Amino acid sequence: MVREEEKIRDGILFCPGDPELKAIKLKTHNLNVDYNNTYEDETEKRAKILSEIIGEFGEGGFIQGPVAFHYGKHTRIGKNFFGNFNLTIQDDAEVTIGDNCNFGPNVTIVTPIHPMLSDERREMATADGGKKHLCYAKPVHIGNDCWFGASVTVCPGVVIGDNCVIGAGSVVTRDIPPGSFAAGNPCRVIREITEADSMKYKPEILADNQVLPRRDG
Q: What is the pLDDT along the chain (217 residues), one digit of tens a residue?
A: 579 999 999 999 999 999 999 999 999 999 999 999 999 999 999 999 999 999 999 999 999 999 999 999 999 999 999 999 999 999 999 999 999 999 999 999 999 999 999 999 999 999 888 999 999 999 999 999 999 999 999 999 999 999 999 999 999 999 999 999 999 999 999 999 999 999 999 999 999 999 998 876 4
Domains in the chain, CATH or no CATH each: 4-206 (2.160.10.10)
- The reported pLDDT for the residue numbered 215 is 74
Listed in sequence order, the residues at least 6 apart from 128 whose beta carbon sits closer than 8 Å to its beta carbon are: none
Q: Which of 97, 191, 204 is nearest to 144 (CA)?
A: 97
* Active-site entry in 29, 70, 74, 114: 114
> Is position 74 annotated as part of the catalytic site?
no
Alpha-carbon gap, residue 137 to 11, rounded angstroms: 6
Listed in sequence order, the residues at least 6 apart from 1 whose beta carbon sits closer than 8 Å to its beta carbon are: none
- The reported pLDDT for the residue numbered 217 is 42
Count of Cβ atoms closer than 10 Å to residue 208 Cβ = 5
pTM: 0.94
Count of Cβ atoms closer than 10 Å to residue 98 Cβ = 22
- The reported pLDDT for the residue numbered 214 is 80
Alpha-carbon gap, residue 32 to 67, rounded angstroms: 6
